[in-house]
Amino acid sequence: MAKELRINERLSLPLAEIELRTSRSSGPGGQHANVTASRVEAVFDVEASSALDERQRQRLRERLGPVVTAVAQDARGQARNRELALERLAAKLAAGLRVRRKRRPTRPTKASRQRRLDQKRRTGERKRTRRPPSFDE
């Protein structure tokens, strides 16, 4: 079994930094669910992590908060729910670390301005035909 959780191509976290909590699931399983702790919660403390540099820590704190949690109770077995919880945690962390590109402002094209004016003209014409006729016409 892997000793670390792969977040993206440049970052992987040691599993020792991820706390796994188990509890009884409300998911499928019937009476089996009443006696088995199959729900898994993966908890990652951003502040206490030694695998993150300061920029990554700051980005995660701003976007996800100081503690990131992922829960899985979909499957009947604890082992599968553990895999699912770790996958979900990795996806959350990857999304939180992703650097968003700056938007480059653009102008409307000549064709789009023309379409807009044509649409306005058609709408005005439609409304004009709905009016009652005036006395001078």
Residue 40, pLDDT > 70, answer: yes
Q: pLDDT of 78-132, one tens digit each?
A: 899 999 999 999 999 999 999 889 999 999 999 999 999 999 999 999 999 999 9
The answer to whether the beta carbons of residues 52 and 46 sit under 8 Å apart is yes
| pLDDT of the residue at 75 | 85
* CB-based burial label for 20 (10 Å; 0-12, 13-18, 19+): middle
| pLDDT of the residue at 74 | 85
- What is 60-119 written as a DSSP string? HHHHH-SEEEEEE-SSSSHHHHHHHHHHHHHHHHHHHHPPPPPPPP-PPPHHHHHHHHHH
Cα separation, 15 vs 19, whole angstroms: 8
The rounded Cα 63 to chain-centroid distance in angstroms is 11
Q: What is the CATH number of domain 4-97?
A: 3.30.160.20
**For the chain, which residues make up each domain, given as ranges?**
4-97
Over residues 25-34, the mean pLDDT reads 67
Mean pLDDT, the chain, integer: 89
| pLDDT of the residue at 35 | 77
Q: pLDDT of 62-80, one tens digit each?
A: 999 999 999 998 888 889 9
Q: Which of 22, 21, 44, 41 is nearest to 33 (CA)?
A: 22
